[in-house]
Chain A
Amino acid sequence: MKEKEYEKLFSGFKGIEDDILAIFLRVQKKDGYISEEAIRRVSRFLKISENRLYGVATFYPKFRFTKPGRNTVKVCMGTACHVHGGQSLSDAVGWQLGISLGQTTDDGHFDFQRVTCLGCCTLAPVVQINDDIHDRVLVTGLKETLKQYE
C-alpha cells in the first residue's frame, strides 16, 4: 500500500487500542497479508510498539504475514469434513500443489491454507478456492477441481 492509502485506511479510526484488530483486518483485506511495513505504519498511528502489535496480530489465526498466491486454496478442517476424509483431502491438495500448508507455489499461482470450519457442514468435505465453495470434494475429483484454476 502507498502512503496515501494508509492515511485513507486510518482515517476511519480514532486511534485507540480497541481498534487494533479492525485496522489489521482492513490492512489484510487490502494487501492480502500483514507486511512489516504495515506493522510500522499501524504502530506510528496507534502509538503502540511494533512488538506489541505483532504479538496481538500473531495470536489470531486469521492474520497471515506472507504474500498470498493469486489463488488461495482453503481446505476445511471442520469435524464433519474430518469424518468425511478431510485429512486425506488436505494431504492430497499439498501433494498436488507441491507445497506444504501455509506455503505459496514458486510461481505464486496457488497458496494452500486450512480453515477451522466453513459452516456448510452438510456438504462435507468442502474446499474453498478464492470465493468459490466446492462441496463434496473427493480426492477422486480433486485434479479436475484444481484444473479449473490453472
Chain B
Amino acid sequence: MNSFEKRRQEAQKKWDALQNSRVPVIYVGSATCGLAAGAAGVLKAVEQTLKRNRLKAKVVPVGCIGPCYLEPLMDITMPGEPRISYANVTPEKAQKIVESLLIEGKPLADLAVGHFGDNGSDLTTGIPKFFDMPMLKPQVRVVLRNAGYIDPDDIDHYLANDGYAGLVKAFKMGPEAVIEEIKEAGLRGRGGAGFPAFKKWEICRGAPGEQKYMVCNSSEGDPGAFMNRSLIESDPHSVLEGLLTAAFAIGASFGYIYINTDYRLAVARLRKAVTQMKEVGLLGKNILGSGFDFEIKIKEGAGAFVCGEETAQIACIEGRRGMPKARPPFPAISGIHGKPTIINNVETLGTIPNILRNGAAWYTQYGIEGNRGTKTFSLVGKVKRGGLIEVPLGVKLRTIIYDIGGGSWKKFKGVQTGGPSGGCLSEEHLDIPVEYESMNAAGSIMGSGGLIVMDEDTCAVDLALYFLRFTQKESCGKCSPCRVGTWHMVTILERIVSGQSQSGDLTKLQTLAETVQHASLCGLGQTAPNPVLTTLRYFRSEYLEHVNEKHCRAGVCKELIDYEIDPQKCNGCQLCVDVCPTDAISGAKAELHELDLSRCIRCKACYEVCRYNPLAGNAIVIKTRRSA
C-alpha cells in the first residue's frame, strides 16, 4: 500500500472517531458570515463554559452550511445522538445550550433549528430535520457537499470524505479520458459566461509548448456575491483537487490561484491547505506515482473588478496594470508570459472532483438539457432567508426567491442576477428557468451567482445608477466606449435621479448603452449597460415618473424627497435629535422640533426612531412629489 492510501486510512479512522466520539462534539460555523455575526465570541464562550464546568468535548470550527441569516450557527453532537443545530447563537445562548445539553441532557428544543439524524431519537423530539427546513429542502449539495460539515483546516477531514479520490481516478484514466468525462458531464464555466469547460481544456491540451499554466480564478469582484469565497473558506481542498485535475488534463505543471487579498480568511485557509497538500505528497514531482509534476502559487490581487476577466487577470499575475487585451489569441493558446493558460472559476474547479468521482452520468441527473449540474448562488438583499445556496440548473427563480428565500418582507419588486454585469428582472420573470440561455434571453446573465432581491423600497433607477457608478469606477480606461460611455451614462442617470433630466435623456441613455455594449473591448464594458437596459425595459414606468413627475415611488432618490415634522404629532421626545448624524434637527425637550432641510442627508434615521420607538410620536413624514 502506498503512503497516500495509508494516510487516507488514518484520516478515515480519525473521522470515524469524531463521528462516534465518546465525548460531545461542538461545531461552530466559522466562515466569513459566521465570524462577522459573532462566531469568535461563541467559540470563546463555549470553551469557557466547558472549562468552568469541567466538561469534556471536542470543538470543531467548520465552514458555511448555507443559511447565513441564521449565523452564528452552533451544532452539538452528543455521543450516539444526531447532530443538533442552533441558530443566531450569542455567547450567553451558547453557554445556556452547552450547559443544558451536556450537563442535564436537555436539548432546549425551542432554541434548536434542526437535527441531522433520522427520526426516532428522544433527544431530537420536537426538533425538525435540518435539511427539511424550507430554505434547504429544494437544494442539492454537490459543490457544497462538505461545506459546514468538515473542518476546512484539516486535510484529513477532506480525505475521509472521498477527498482526492477524483484525482486518483483521473490519474488512472489519463488526460484525454478526463477531458472526455467533463465533456459528457456537460460542465459549463461557472464564472458567468458558461463556456463548455472541456472545450477550453482541449484547445490548451493541443496547444504547442512545454510550459503551460492552470489558474484558479477566485477574483469574485461582484459586490453582493460570496459563493466562491465561502466555498474556499469551507472546503478549500475541493477547489485544489479540481485545480490539480484540470492541470493534469491540460498538461500544466504550474498553477496559480488568483484571489483578492481582502479575502483574508479564504487566503489563510488556502495557504494552509497547500502546505498540507505538500505534506501528503499531492504537490511536487511525480505526484502519487503518476508522473505528473505540479506546483501552486497563491497570487493575491489588490482589488480591481476587471481582474476577473481572463486577460486582465493574466496582466495582474505578471505584475502589470490589470488591463484586458483583445482576443484572439485566447489565453488557452497564449496566456501567462505567452504560454498556454487555462483560467477556471472556483466553482467550476470545485465541481470537477465530484464529476470524476461519481462519473458524468451521475452528474447529468441534475439540471436540464444543455445546462447540466448545479449552481451556487448568494441570495441576499430584501429576502427573508438569505445565504449561500446550491440548486440544480433549470429551477425557477420563484423557487429560489420564495421557496428557498421565503420572499421579501415588503412587496417584491425584482431581482438583480449576475451582479453589475447582469440585469434586473421583474416579477414577470419569476417563472423562467435559471439557466444560461433563458437568463441571456431576458437581457440578464447567469453570472457567477449573485442574486440581489429588491422590494418596493428599492428604486430601480437608483439601483441602475449604483451598478453603473461601480462599473464606471472599475473601468480600466483602455477602450473609450467603456471609459467615456459609462461616464456619460452615469451623468444622465444622475440627472434623472436628481430631477434635472432633459428631454430625450431616456433615448440617449438607451442608445449610449447599446453602443457601450457593442463596442467595448472586454466583458466588463460589454455587460456594464445590462442593469440600465433591463431596468429601462422592465421598470420603464419608474424612469418616466422620475423624468416627468420628479417622483421616486420608493422614496430613495434624495433630491426627489423631502422630510417634514408633523407639528400635530411631534411630542418633543428628542430621540430624533440624538440620532441625526448631521445635527439637522433641533428642539428642546417637550417642545416642537425643527428640521433644517439644508443639513438633512435623508438618511431615514429620524424616521426610523420616530416611527418605531414607542416613546416617539411617529411625526416624521417622508414626502415624495406625488404626496406633496
Hey, which bits of chain A sit against chain B, CB under 8 A? 16-22, 24-25, 55-56, 59-63, 77-85, 87-89, 91-93, 95-96, 115-124, 126, 133, 135, 138-140, 142-143
Contact = CB atoms under 8 A, between A and B. Distances in A.
Contacts of A63: 302
Given A78-B223, A79-B223, A80-B380, 7 more contacts: A21-B299, A21-B300, A59-B304, A80-B224, A83-B381, A83-B463, A91-B603
A148 B139 CA distance: 41
Interface string B289-328: 0000000000111111100000000001111111100000
A121 B37 CA distance: 11
Contacts of A79: 222-224, 380-381, 416, 419, 450, 452, 466-467
Contacts of A24: 302
A96 B605 CA distance: 13
B226 interface: yes
Contact of B68 (A17, A21, A116, A122): A122
Q: 6 closest Cβ contacts across the A-B interface?
A: A79-B224, A60-B302, A62-B302, A88-B603, A139-B605, A92-B581
B221 A83 contact: no
B602 interface: yes
A16 B316 CA distance: 14
Contacts of A95: 581-582, 601
Interface of B: 32-33, 35-37, 68-69, 71, 221-226, 229-230, 261-263, 299-305, 316-323, 378, 380-382, 386-387, 416, 419, 450, 452, 454, 458, 463, 466-467, 470, 476, 578-579, 581-582, 601-605, 608-609
A79 B403 CA distance: 22
B226 A82 contact: no
19 contacts: A17-B320, A56-B320, A59-B323, A59-B476, A61-B302, A79-B223, A79-B466, A89-B603, A92-B605, A96-B581, A116-B223, A119-B230, A120-B32, A120-B37, A122-B71, A135-B37, A138-B608, A139-B603, A143-B579
A50 to B, nearest CB: 15
A78 B450 CA distance: 11
Nearest to B473: A61
Nearest to B420: A79
B36 A18 contact: no
B318 A18 contact: yes
B603 A85 contact: yes
A119 B263 contact: yes
A60 B35 contact: no
A124 B380 contact: yes
B604 A62 contact: no
Most buried by A among B316, B380, B609: B380
Nearest to B321: A59
A60 B304 contact: yes
A85 B604 contact: yes
A116 B303 contact: yes
B390 to A, nearest CB: 16
Given A139-B581, A140-B609, A121 B226 contact: yes
Contacts of B321: 55-56, 59
Contacts of B476: 59
Contact of A122 (B317, B380, B419, B463): B380
A123 B304 contact: no
Contacts of A118: 32, 36
A77 B454 contact: no
B226 A56 contact: no
Nearest to B578: A143
Given A25-B300, A83-B458, A62 B601 contact: no
A80 B36 contact: no
A95 B602 CA distance: 13
